[in-house]
Copies of this chain bind each other. A is one copy, B any other.
Amino acid sequence: MEHGSEVLLSLFVIFVGAQLGAEIAQRLKLPGVVGEIAAGCVLGPSLLGWIHPAEALDVLAEIGVVLLLFAVGLETRLDEMKRVGRSAMLVGVLGVIFPFALGSLWAHGAGYDWAKSLFVAAAFVATSAGITARVLQELGVLQREESRVILGAAVIDDILAMLLLGIVTALQGGQSLRLDHLAIVLLEAVGFVVVVALLGTRVMRRSSQWLEAPINPLSPLTIVLALCLGLAYLSTQFGLAAIIGAFLAGMIASETRQRETLEHQTRPLLALMTPFFFVMTGSKVELSQLADGTTLATLAFITAIALVSKLVGGYLGALPLGRRGALIVGVGMMPRGEVGVVIASLGFAAGVFSPRTYALIVAMSLLTSIVTPPLLALLFKNHVPAAPAQTPP
């Protein structure tokens, strides 16, 4: 009697694939998220072809990662973020400079002119906070200093990457750089983050009782979810990723006295929605584009560039945390995930990239996301042997 039964089948396949993938990965002592991404590779068009690209699935994936960063924000206090502000800033800035420099050198060496090389390099820059946030949450280490630095740096990273994309797009189009315009864009983005973080937390701290004013007994949850969707949308209007707004919404909500209830209620939401994000991320790997030896060698090379440049930038920025802490931060900044894929799509649509470069950058972005979680888990496990492998239900 109803339409959309193919969509129901896709939902079922994605959801079950994610559960199986996560279970297998965890039995192999890997973070569950690796299994979910791998499940996406297997189910996607490259291999089984059981998942087809569809707008509705992308929307579910977006909701999934937005809720994930909201939940991570819920476990993050603004005061603790302020304490690591200097390190986060340094990690964010150095973590942009190194990949951008190495990326543009490689692209120029590969035959692109400088304007195009800078565009290619932009895809090396932006960190995907979703992957790392999920691993940190899975390991139960969101409260640690390294985690805070990574999250703070991810926000700064996203602001800088947005600026950089504006610059390389202008250069690519042969336009002259309007520094005054860039300054306004930067100010607006920074202003949005600062105003929302400071004002939001202050308002919430003083008046969290009105969250319970509506008749709906779940009203604290529904109000902060509305805040999450609203700030996620607003942050896209400031040129930032939706997850930045969601993270801020979570951080604001963490100041309420209903925080623990909210954390508890968010878990089933993540259980339902985040698999769509990770499986859809994995399903975007196009293995067929990478079938020959030369391409694979190039892929290995640019993935190494992407990993090392981010690692060094993050490491140097976070050295005040000690060597091991700096290493954790560097590794935590490595995944490019869906952000790299989005920039590659922009470059491809604008005719800047060849199809081969596009496939390479997409594969690189996803490889960095697959490589990071096990490394991060390893570093944290050796660092604190007693760290719980799972957050309790």
Contact = CB atoms under 8 A, between A and B. Distances in A.
Contacts of A279: none
B165 A2 contact: no
10 contacts: A1-B239, A2-B243, A4-B59, A8-B66, A8-B229, A8-B236, A15-B229, A16-B229, A218-B267, A265-B268
Contacts of A216: 19, 22-23, 26, 32, 271, 390
A393 interface: yes
Interface string A308-349: 000000000000000000000000000000110011000000
Given A215-B27, A217-B391, A265-B268, A242 B11 contact: no
B2 A342 contact: yes
A232 interface: yes
Given A19-B216, A342-B3, A11 B229 contact: yes
B218 A268 contact: yes
Grouping DSSP codes into helix (H, G, I), strand (E, B) and loop, the A interface class, with mixed when no group exceeds half, is helix
Interface stretch (A44-52, A219-227, A286-294, A373-381): A219-227
Contact of A12 (B15, B16, B229): B229
Given A1-B165, A1-B240, A2-B242, A226 B58 contact: no
Contacts of A266: 268
Contact of A218 (B161, B242, B393): B393
A7 to B, nearest CB: 5
Nearest to A262: B268
Contact of A269 (B272, B338, B339): B272
A214 interface: yes
Nearest to A162: B1
Given A12-B230, A59-B7, A241 B23 contact: no
A161 to B, nearest CB: 6
A230 B8 CA distance: 8
